[in-house]
Amino acid sequence: MSRSPVPQDVLELPAFAAIFLVLTVREGSEDAVREMLADAAGLTRSVGFREPEGNLSCVLGIGAGLWSRLYDLPAPIGLHPLPVFAGAVHTTVTTPGDLLVHLRARRADLCFELARQIVDSLDGAADVVDEVHGFRYFDERDLLGFVDGTENPSGVAAADAVTIGPEDPAYAGGSYLIVQKYLHDLQAWNALSVEEQEKAIGRRKLDDIELSEAVKPSNSHVALNTITGPDGEQRKILRDNMPFGTVGTREYGTYFAGYAATPEVIEQMLNNMFVGNPPGNHDRILDFSRPVTGGLFFIPTKDFLDDPPTAGSEVPDEESAPAEADGSLAIGSLRRSGTP
């Protein structure tokens, strides 16, 4: 049996700092991009070794539009452009993006240096179309003041939630990532009473306890983002949202980053939020928080990035289980249940 594929560092500890880069790739620059994808692990080691306790990590994603330009291979089953979810009041947006770079560390300077090295390596080949520098805000809260990520799975459940399995054996060990940049209307939000805010989120603000079913509104964020499968089990994703903002322009927001073994779970959440469940019953949080970007990316394994297979390569054994991500399955303090 062949060696199990090694996932990228999706299951990292919650970050103190993060940088998200979305890039578009210029025509004819595919070789340079493939070279960067193979070299990124080495860049990460070089930067991270200068401060080993900084826990620097890098996850790279590939968009649907770039896949066929890079590889003569069938696309992963779930890779497609992020659909638009249009409700009666609110609508998602889908913005250009061929590559997604997600950097995490305990120090912002580590993320910054690695981002600089990656972008320099793509000079003339790709253009950064969105860049967000996220930070940890007090006790895992977003800028709306609520703890974000409480229902994230941990341990084996987290790995199961984000890792592609035998349903797509050629890409087992990979994952999917949906990102969206949300901007908050903090003035309008802060004009609400705490009780009104709690009903919009579905949790108490101070102690992060979920509201009881008797008082939790059906259009609360928690209610509309609880997805149950045909077997009755709740379907989980791993959120790695980060707050961001600039005080000079008063632009404040949450960068949503949701990892999953299949994009259909997050897409169902987005449908519930924007179209409503039932239709018209949209997520109350959208009256104060609007998306300005959106994209879906496939997250290959480290093995794939290092040495991509070619057409006709042997398909991995379906019985092979993907390796754990650097043994870092303990997510630690559970994270956000915020947007979406």
CB 284 within 8 A of CB 217: yes
Sign of CA dihedral 331, 48, 41, 296: positive
Contact 9, 325 (CB under 8 A): yes
CB 94 within 8 A of CB 180: no
Beta bridge partners of 175: 299
Identify the active-site residue in 148, 240, 283, 303. Answer: 148
CA-to-CA distance for 117 and 43, rounded, in angstroms? 7
Q: How far apart are CA 253 and CA 199, in angstroms?
A: 20
**Where would I find the H helices in the chain?**
30-48, 64-70, 108-121, 155-162, 186-190, 194-201, 221-224, 263-274, 302-306
Tokens of 125: 């080949």
User: What length is written for the chain?
Assistant: 340
Q: Is 148 noted as a catalytic residue in this protein?
A: yes
**Mind giving me the DSSP string for 129-186?**
EEEEEEE--TTTB-TTSSB--TT---HHHHHHHH---TTSGGGTT-EEEEEEEEEE-H
CA gap 282, 273 in Å, rounded:
5
Strands 251-260 and 242-246: antiparallel
Residue 223 CB contacts under 8 Å (≥ 6 apart), including other chains: 202, 216, 217
- Measure the CA–CA gap between 263 and 246, rounded to whole angstroms: 31
Contacts of 45 (CB under 8 A, 6+ apart): none
Positions marked catalytic: 148
